[in-house]
Structure 1
Amino acid sequence: MNLSIFFEPLNEDVFAALNKPRTLGAYITRFVSKFPDWRSADIAILGVNETRGRGETNEQDNPAASPARVVRKKLYNLNKGSGRCRIVDLGNLRPGINLEDTYLRLKEIVELLISHNTIPVIIGGSHDLEYGQYMGYEHLDRVVNMVTVDSSVDMTEDEDAPANKRQLRQILMHEPNYLFSLGQIGYQSYLVEPEVMATLEKLHFEAYRVGEVHRNIQEMEPVVRLADLLTFDISAIRFQDAPGYQPANPFGLTGEEACQLCWYAGMSDTLTSLGIYEYEPELDERELTAATIATMIWYFIEGYYHRKNEIDFSSSKFTKYAVAFNEEPDRMTFYKSRQSEKWWLEVESLSNEKGSRIVPCSYEDYLQAINGEVPNRWILTQARIG
């Protein structure tokens, strides 16, 4: 497939001054006149100036309204981190005739990129674009795990609500259904209907309030490490650190916490796409939000180049721990990486036909087990396996 037909090239005049020798801008190959060789890249950046999911009309004739444009100016000016840097910028996706067309275009692009082991980093656009990002995994013929960082849970049943308030419902109703787990990080209880939280609980999905993230962000690392795709709604970040969204929210994650979550995502051996949505440049007077997003992407890139390739649990890279119980389960198996010191938990299925799954966990889960308590992560995973 010729990907270039889906993208608008970047205006080189905007980025001409951003090629300082040690900055990312000097290392990222971008689409100006020639489409970059994305097949040999580790990460591909793409902008999606699609806002119809918010109930707006796309401002396609105003390049300055593109969220990705402002973020790029900040990102390209950041100094390159350690290690190699094989990154391309594909430009901005041409929106479809209607919103569904944009979803399908995004699906095709995500599908093609991840099939060639290139990670798409999507800068949107409204949060409903995560539906197109999610559909890009349909071809894998396996279940996938998704994590979304948001101050609310976009799962309303109101058909009159904007698309960016109901895309999680679209994902749950999508056929074929290949969603194994959903992790919701940073929600604020007063912004979420109790019925929505009851639905997440019924489906055995994980949900963490913003206060839980503040208290122990390290416990979010296994949640993110499980994910195949991560989506980030900028409204999850407090207004002081990211004012470029509406309505304004004085509470939420700090910019530092957002960067930490992106570092976790970059470090994860299983995560293959990142989407950052709901940035509105016209509300970002001093471009503080753009700087926050650019730094989040920088940490994601750094995390990626620090991956450990920890996927073979039978290798000598892991130490195996067996914890005995008096009741069901009679035994619980943990794995600890000798290199990164991260933990995993093996969860047995109730059905012998379905085998077991090894999922990321924390040291706290192991401590619970040796104290005779069954970790909640084990209970939720077994319930999803069936």
Structure 2
Amino acid sequence: MNLSIFFEPLNEDIFAQLDKPRTLGAYIGRFTGKFPDWRSADIALIGVNERRGQGTVEQHSVAPARVVRQKLYNLHKGAGRCHIVDLGNLRPGITLDDTYLRLKEIVEVLISHNTIPVIIGGSHDLEYGQYMGYEHMERVVNMVTVDSSVDMTEDLDVPANRKQLRQILMHEPNFLFSLGQVGYQSYLVDPEVMATLEKLHFEAYRVGEVHRSMQEMEPVVRMADLLTFDISAIRHQDAPGSTPANPFGLTGEEACQLCWYAGLNDNMTSLGIYEYDPELDDRELTATTIATMVWYFIEGFYHRKNETEFSSSKFTKYAVAFNDNPDRMVFYKSKKSEKWWLEVEPLSDDKGPRIVPCSYEDYLQAIKGEVPNRWILTQARIG
């Protein structure tokens, strides 16, 4: 497929000083004259200057991804291989729905060729297009979104970037197995929305829970096929380039940690970072934060362990028995990374067990005779 028809080439002038040896700029193949060979790339960067989902018809005078590129390309490459392409900026569709469909088609083609799209810029509702790119896979998928609010309102009068999760949940065919909401702030979310997430057996973590135990977010991110990140989830001190300004939230370091987890995740096949507004970005601090997040994602990717064969000798199997109960709870621990997984039995006999990421704390809870909440939620979703 000729993906180049969807993209605008990049201007050479912004790369004049970005080809320093041993920096990412010297290794990324970019769309300036000839469209890069994305089929053999590990990761493809995509810029999107589309904010009609915010309720405005005007696009940014400066494409968000342009500023991020200037920061990212100057960062030093880590050790090991680096096969990344920059496809340029997506040409927005005539309508917002057209942009969703273009993004869907691009994501679908890239992940079908084992190339991970990293989407930068645009309003958060574009995650709907990112999500639809998985429809062709004919299996359920897992999604994690990092946001200070939960974009699931039923109000028809609000902009699209405040209700795209509802679009995702209502989409037919429904292929969403799990949703993890990370970093939300209770005073920004309608209690009825949280009640809906609970009824659907989805996981949700307040920003205080992230602060308290970042390590417990690792299995949440490890569960996901796709991750979306609303920059408003990061506090204003570290990322001023978003609306509305948020004095509280994740730190830039925590955002990078989540992206590192995402990169390490063997099942993660797309990342979207949304709601960056360069016109509000004091001293381009947000662009630096986003560039560093992408750097950590890239580094995480090149440190993947390919831990998916649980029957192999690479894992230690633990069976936890409960008092006065013939059933056992089975855990797996990787001998290489020391990460944990949990085997969840379905409620019905016609379905097989599912192995999901968990934490050491889940194992400790089980040996105390308590059923981990992650096991309960997963079993409820399996049915």
Q: Distance in 2 between matches of 1:297 and 1:229?
A: 14
Letter aligned with residue 31 of structure 1: F
Aligned pair 1:5/2:5, yes or no?
yes
Q: Give the match's secondary structure for 1:309.
A: coil
For structure 2, the residue ranges without an aligned partner over 5 or more in a row are none
Deviations 1:253-294 (A, max 9, x none): 000000000000000000000000000000002000000000
Superposed displacement of residue 352, structure 1:
1.4
Q: Distance in 2 between matches of 1:80 and 1:56?
A: 37
CA RMSD of aligned residues (A): 0.8
The count of corresponding residues between Structure 1 and Structure 2 is 383
1:317 is aligned to 314
Q: Give the match's secondary structure for 2:380.
A: helix
Q: Give the match's secondary structure for 2:267.
A: coil
Superposed displacement of residue 171, structure 1:
0.1
Q: Distance in 2 between matches of 1:146 and 1:106?
A: 17
Q: Distance in 1 between matches of 2:344 and 2:95?
A: 43
Q: Distance in 2 between matches of 1:134 and 1:58?
A: 25
Deviations 1:268-321 (A, max 9, x none): 000000000000000002000000000000000000000000000011100000
Matches within 5 A, 1:1-386: 1-59=1-59, 62=61, 65-326=62-323, 330-386=327-383
Q: Distance in 1 between matches of 2:116 and 2:325?
A: 40
Superposed displacement of residue 329, structure 1:
7.4
Q: Distance in 2 between matches of 1:16 and 1:348?
A: 57
Letter aligned with residue 56 of structure 1: T
Q: Distance in 2 between matches of 1:16 and 1:193?
A: 48
Q: Distance in 1 between matches of 2:324 and 2:115?
A: 45
Q: Distance in 1 between matches of 2:316 and 2:184?
A: 35
Contact 1:148 1:185 in 2 (8 A): yes
Deviations 1:75-107 (A, max 9, x none): 000000111000000000000000000000000
Letter aligned with residue 321 of structure 2: A
Deviations 1:115-148 (A, max 9, x none): 0000000002000000000000000000000000
Letter aligned with residue 137 of structure 2: L
Letter aligned with residue 33 of structure 2: S
Q: Give the match's secondary structure for 1:294.
A: helix
Superposed displacement of residue 58, structure 1:
3.5
Q: Distance in 2 between matches of 1:182 and 1:124?
A: 22
Superposed displacement of residue 241, structure 1:
0.3
Contact 1:49 1:58 in 2 (8 A): no
Q: Give the match's secondary structure for 2:16.
A: helix
For structure 1, the residue ranges without an aligned partner over 5 or more in a row are none
Q: Give the match's secondary structure for 2:183.
A: strand
TM-score by length of 1: 0.98
Q: Distance in 2 between matches of 1:335 and 1:69?
A: 43
Q: Distance in 2 between matches of 1:367 and 1:198?
A: 28
Q: Distance in 1 between matches of 2:201 and 2:64?
A: 35
Residues 1:230 and 1:187: Cα distance change in structure 2 (over 3 Å): same
Contact 1:227 1:271 in 2 (8 A): yes
Contact 1:35 1:90 in 2 (8 A): yes
Superposed displacement of residue 112, structure 1:
0.2
TM-score by length of 2: 0.99
Q: Distance in 2 between matches of 1:151 and 1:329?
A: 43
Superposed displacement of residue 247, structure 1:
1.1
Residues 1:113 and 1:254: Cα distance change in structure 2 (over 3 Å): same
Q: Distance in 2 between matches of 1:244 and 1:59?
A: 15
Superposed displacement of residue 327, structure 1:
5.5
Letter aligned with residue 354 of structure 2: R
Superposed displacement of residue 246, structure 1:
1.2
Deviations 1:332-363 (A, max 9, x none): 00000000000000000011111110000000
Letter aligned with residue 370 of structure 1: I
Q: Give the match's secondary structure for 2:282.
A: coil
